[in-house]
Chains A and B, each alone.
Chain A
Amino acid sequence: MMSNILKRFSTAGKISVFLITLVCFMAIFAPLLTKHPWNQPTGDALEPPSKAHILGTDDLGIDLWSQICYGARNSIAVGIGTALTACLLGTALGIIAGYCGGIPDLVISAVIDVLTAIPGLPLMIAAGAFFGPSIKNIILILSILSWAMPARIIRSKIISLKQEMYIKAAQGYGAGFSYITIKHFLPRIFPLSATSFIRLISKAIVSEASLSFLGLGDPTSKSWGLILNYALNFPGIYFTDYWKWWLVYPLLCIILLVLSTAVIGREFEKILDTKISSVV
């Protein structure tokens, strides 16, 4: 099924898939791709790109290419971790709310309402300060704040599925909730979940970068947003040449990664015919 989908991708989609594979490759094989450690100074401070340091070094003399490679791990971990948690949570709660109705539906819908009405960023700022900055906590916060989107979509899908004859028939034969969910619901809502999964990845990556940019990320892990934050806070960054490597490369990386996930998300939507972007 996946290869089938891939074939129907447009050129942009294919490029995006390639880019993402590249980033994953960077993340997984970071130790092989880099000759310098990501957390120890190996050169002079702020060396421009050269043979020894292909993307130059930062203010401590740490190789930027290594930081970017290892940073890819963070970005991907936050992206996938958040999307997975939020998607599972959202799907489960969406099914429960849609299928059971009544009080569970009321409660879940109310929480969804609150979460969608509150602007996410201020809440993230406050929650970030509360939980403290670490990758685990960031994933946790982002998941809590982003499950509402898939849950809402899936809830309404389930409500409409419930009206269909074959579900009613299955219910009539005495099929239980879990049987119907596994046999009938999951296959039908899979495209929806998959699409929101991809969209959540890109949202999570952006959110992590935003938090790091505001200085609320985890300063001991080198995520791309953090490299950016360090570079931007360096006094006189615009007046020296340092921005040419220290600022530009991480910036490019974030933009490319976010763009590729977004494009893939759209391709998925088109192919699986699930309109999510119009809902959110």
Chain B
Amino acid sequence: MKKSNIGKMLILFMLAAIMFSMNGCGAKPQQKTVSDSTELDSPLVIRLEGGDWGFPSPFAHYSRGPGMSKMRLIYDSLLEKGEKGLIPWLAKEWTISPDGREYTFVLNSGVKWHDGELLTAEDVKFSFEYFTKHPPVSNSLLIDGKPFIDKIEVIDECQVKITVNEPNATLLDRLGIVRIIPEHIWKDIEDPKKAIDLVKLVGCGPYTLTDYNQEQGTYRFQAFEDYWGPKVRVDVIEFIPVSDQVLAFEKAEIDLLDVPADLMDRYKNNEEYKILKSPAFWGYRLLFNMEKKPELSDVNTRKAIAHAIDVDELIEKVARGAAVPASPGYLPIDHIWHNPDVTKYEFDIEKAKELLNNKSLSLTLLISDDQKEARIAELLKINFAKAGINLEVRTVDMKTRDSQVKEQNYELALIGHGGWGQDADCLREVYGVTVARDASPVSNVIPGYSNPQINELCQKQLSELDEQKRKSMILDLQKLISDEIPLLPLYNTVEYMVYKPEKYDGWVHVFDHHAVTHNKLSYLEREK
């Protein structure tokens, strides 16, 4: 009797001990900065949907998801993405030599690292060199897998000159977004992937990380009081795990809601809320493998397929209305260089049949086991059948699908991915690459397809340094692509963000990205 009691007590005790040990698991909160001690207002704390996306150092965040945007709150770069285009950031001005090979950046002075040290031109040089030796998770210093920097020189304490191998229209963007890291922290670190303690996380950005818990998926960012740049409006950003966004938003646990289309009415026409529509930079496209299915190399077959797809129905049923039809010329409607005059293919079964000469066609569509993709495939199958195209759907999990697309083991494949808002050079990577050099989502080759005209224009725009000339080339290129449709973009999704302006009203979209929470401008004061 006594014994069993003791046993029970022991088990209970063990249980309690386990529960208490839990907090010790994550990173220990570490107060590095004290902010707002002088201000009278209570600090503004914004809570957002979190989840674990990795330790936010340039080397350790996860390669998918918003880990990168969290890292960027801590680390600044020479230039920043603004609402219309690139804007000066750590570099207050820059010059490009006429031959397009020398980039000179003039740094702001008095920029402080989070540990109080001053940022120098040497730090900038060090960052570029360190990233060449130890590539960060997101590496913009490679074109088609190859480095392009020839040398980096420090001219004086606030000027850095970067010489590149050959002129290229995308380089300013690529150099501008490289994070600047402090030499005095990283110079002795040989394996930066494993440097995952908070002390190492010294940047010169507007925020410092004070808490990160991997299991719970929580982050806490605090404003850096000696920040060199615009005034920081949000004092604390907390990312917390949320299972049901709507519930959490209604309970005021989070301050921004990516509202499901079916619940929009709850917040529409309500003074208390504001709804922000995101640019459509995430989308689905249909890939054609013309090597495996030679019928597809006939442009009329591809056009027939395009006519047999009811994009509006897909948007209404699968995206619940929260999407826009994609452009057959690839660059979506919200892209700064979108061409509205591309050839369009409306839903027309008769036309599709006509283009197919009433022949029947049998195709296999590869999709991942994602619910939305399965839904799209279901709807495609129904309309294709009407046009005389028999569609067989093959489902594998996402990872398997990705590698089968890479190995070109498909006839038709459906993939969804982000990044449709990035520099128009993505057209070259999607349509103009003939050899699989790069594995990025927008750069797999189109098996069995090569169009000299498209390829030539793709190459030409890349070395065109005059922006206006380049833009008109890109517009032409889109028109060309829309006539050929070597692959078919389906639709681009739109997100609706709901928030209470009374609490915070600073949310803004930058020109190439779909999420307001991902850019640092949303948290900073802006000049009118």
Interface set of A (CB-CB < 8 Å, partner B):
39-41, 45-46, 59-61, 129, 132-134, 215-220, 229-230, 233-236, 238-240
How near does chain A come to B335, taking the closest CB pair, in angstroms?
26
Give 21 A-B contacts (CB < 8 Å), ordered by A residue. Answer: A129-B397, A129-B399, A132-B395, A132-B397, A132-B400, A134-B395, A215-B369, A215-B371, A216-B369, A218-B395, A219-B369, A220-B377, A220-B395, A229-B371, A234-B260, A235-B260, A235-B263, A236-B246, A236-B260, A236-B262, A238-B244
Given contacts A59-B320, A60-B379, A216-B369, contact A236 B397 (CB under 8 A): no
Which residues of B sit under 8 angstroms from A60, Cβ to Cβ?
317-318, 375, 378-379
Chain B residues contacting A59 (CB-CB under 8 Å) are: 317, 320, 375
Q: Contacts A60-B317, A216-B397, A219-B367 given; 11 further ones with Cβ under 8 A?
A: A41-B317, A41-B382, A45-B316, A45-B317, A46-B262, A60-B375, A132-B396, A219-B374, A235-B263, A236-B260, A238-B247
| CB-based contact A240/B262 at 8 Å | yes
Q: Which residues of B contact A132 (CB under 8 A)?
A: 395-397, 400
Does B361 count as interface, using CB distance less than 8 angstroms?
A: no
Closest 3 CB pairs of A and B: A235-B260, A219-B374, A236-B260
Q: Are A230 and B369 in contact (CB under 8 A)?
A: no
Interface string of B97-140 (1 = CB under 8 A from A): 00000000000000000000000000000000000000000000
Q: How many Å lie between the Cα of A46 and that of B316 in the bound state?
A: 12
Cβ of B247 and Cβ of A133 under 8 Å apart?
no
Does chain A have a CB within 8 A of B393? yes
Residues from chain B with a CB closer than 8 A to the CB of A61 are 317
Closest to B316 in A: A45
Q: Is the CB of A239 within 8 A of B374?
A: no
In the complex, which residues 157-216 of chain B have their Cβ closer than 8 Å to any Cβ of chain A? Answer: none
CB-based contact A133/B396 at 8 Å: yes
Please, how many residues of chain B have a CB less than 8 angstroms from a CB on the other chain?
28
Chain A residue with minimal CB distance to B263? A236
| Chain A residue with the shortest CB-CB distance to B261 | A235
B263, B317, B369, B373, most chain A CB atoms within 10 A:
B369
| Nearest-Cβ distance from residue B90 to partner chain A, whole angstroms | 39
For chain A, what secondary structure do more than half of its interface residues adopt (helix, strand, loop), or is it mixed? loop
Taking a contact as CB atoms closer than 8 A, the residue among A40, A41, A133, A233 that contacts B371 in the complex is A233
Bound-complex Cα distance A233 to B372 (A): 10
A-B contact count (CB 8 A): 71
Q: What 1/0 flags go to B232-250 for Cβ under 8 Å of A?
A: 0000000000001111000
Report the separation of the CA atoms of residues A41 and B396 in the bound assembly, to the nearest whole angstrom: 24
CB distance from A140 to the nearest CB of B (A): 16
Q: How far, in whole Å, are A238 and B379 apart by their CA atoms in the complex? A: 26
> Min CB distance, B497 to chain A, in Å?
14
> Closest approach, in angstroms, between the C-beta of B402 and any C-beta of chain A?
13
A219 near B371: Cβ-Cβ < 8 Å: yes
Q: Is the CB of A133 within 8 A of B317?
A: no
Decide: A239 and B247 in contact? CB cutoff 8 A.
yes
Q: In the complex, which residues of chain A have a beta carbon less than 8 angstroms from the beta carbon of B393? A: 220
* Residues of B with C-beta under 8 A to A39: 378, 382
Give the complex CA separation of A55 and B169 in angstroms. Answer: 58
Pick the contact of A129: B246, B395, B400 (CB < 8 A).
Answer: B400
* Min C-beta distance of A226 to chain B, whole Å: 9
Assembly CA distance A220 to B378 (angstroms):
8
Taking the closest CB of chain A, its distance from the CB of B141, in whole angstroms, is: 34
State how many angstroms separate the Cβ of A74 from the closest Cβ of chain B.
14
Contacts of B367 in A (CB 8 A): 219
Q: Which residue of A lies closest to B381 (CB)?
A: A39
Give bound CA distance, A133 to B374, whole Å.
12
In the assembled complex, the CB of A210 is this many whole angstroms from the nearest CB of chain B, namely 15
Given known pairs A39-B378, A220-B377, the reply for A230 and B371 (CB within 8 Å) is yes
Q: Which of A40, A46, A220 contacts B374 (CB 8 A)?
A: A220
A230 to chain B, nearest CB (A): 6
Bound Cα distance A229, B374 (Å)? 13
Alpha-carbon distance between A38 and B213 when the two chains are bound, in angstroms? 45
Chain A minimum-CB-distance residue to B377? A220
Chain B, 344-383, contact with A by CB distance < 8 Å: what is the 0/1 string? 0000000000000000000000010111011101110010
